[in-house]
Amino acid sequence: MLLNRYKNLHLIQQLDPVQDHCRIYHLMNGYEFPWDMTRSLEVALMRTYCVPSISKLLNQTGEFTHCPQKRYDDTSIIVGEMIKWGYDSDRGKEALQRMNALHGRFKIDNGDFLYVLSTFVFEPIRWNVHFGWRLMCEQEKLASFYFWREVGKQMQIQNIPETYEEFERYNLDYERQNFRYSDTNRRVGEATRDLFLSWFPSWMRSSIKPGIYALLDEPMLDAFGFPYPSPLLRSAMVSLLKIRAKLIRLFPPRNQPNFYIDSPIPSYPTGYEIANVGPAENVKQ
């Protein structure tokens, strides 16, 4: 049983991270780490809100205050379509086209675009080091880089580093230079935090809020102006996630995928058309 648990890993290790990155990334997200990839990409997006130039633009749209669940679902659908079907599939191309149309309404700095792209590569890898039921192999790390690098090219993002190592350096240098507190960081951060809390019964939310802070590192807490959690709470959250990882390791491998778009989506209870995902055309700019 335990040997069978690693059958997808053995398959992935036989694939080429350059030529087969869509296949590898599909397996990672749908079969190997579906819950972890979703949570880590949520953290990745929250990291981008720690940059005042990014949070200012997001705050101006009004989506985070007026319809945060729909904003979350729209992003998850577009990303999920590319991950499940591949960015070069018909549905993946349509999702990319829709994303480019939505972004095209705004003047976005290339450096900010590049940083957001980098978080999609490296935040899941960092989460996996701490909380994964197994460590990602080298093919998975490189496939993540090549997947998002190709997506970035089709988004017309300029100066994407040629190697994994160069892109990681960019990610770390950018954060050191650009993470700082702003009121728009706090507004977007609070709206996102409150969205996460809304997924739980109201009587649980006051207890869960400090747990969210415990999953954010100090640079993020400072950039949002959030309070520091107690060391005991942070340790408890880490322990809980590590226990979860050990339990998941005992499960058999998935036979059916578990992508975000495979489950009912709150903002689209009757389904969606990719071309209609996103805010109305007259969104405030």
What pLDDT score was predicted for residue 283? 38
pLDDT in tens, 42-75: 999 999 999 999 999 999 998 988 999 999 999 9
Q: Does the pLDDT value for residue 282 go beyond 50?
A: no
Q: Which helix (H) or strand (E) holds 79?
A: helix 68-85
- Nearest CA among 143, 145, 165 for reference residue 14: 143
95: which residues sit within 8 A by CB, 6+ positions away?
77, 78, 79, 81, 82, 87, 274
CA distances from 5 to 25, 28, 31, 134, 167 (A): 18, 14, 11, 11, 32
Q: Give pTM, 2 decimals.
A: 0.94
Give the tokens for residue 186.
Answer: 């706090």
Q: Is the dihedral of CA 186, 189, 191, 193 positive or negative?
A: negative
- In angstroms, rounded to a whole number, what is the distance separating the alpha carbons of residues 277 and 37? 22
In DSSP notation, 14-70 reads TS-TTTTHHHHHHHIIIIISHHHHHHHHHHHHHHHTTSHHHHHHHHHH-HHHH-HHH
Instruction: Report domain extents, the chain.
Output: 17-130+143-251
Q: Count of alpha carbons within 13 Å of 95, Cβ hemisphere only?
A: 22
- In angstroms, rounded to a whole number, what is the distance separating the alpha carbons of residues 181 and 83? 32
pLDDT in tens, 202-228: 999 999 999 999 999 999 999 999 999
pLDDT in tens, 70-82: 999 999 999 999 9
Give the tokens for residue 264.
Answer: 């009912």
Give the pLDDT mean for 121-132. 98
- In angstroms, rounded to a whole number, what is the distance separating the alpha carbons of residues 214 and 196? 14
Residue 281: pLDDT band by 50, 70, 90 thresholds? low
Largest CA distance in the chain: 55
173: which residues sit within 8 A by CB, 6+ positions away?
none
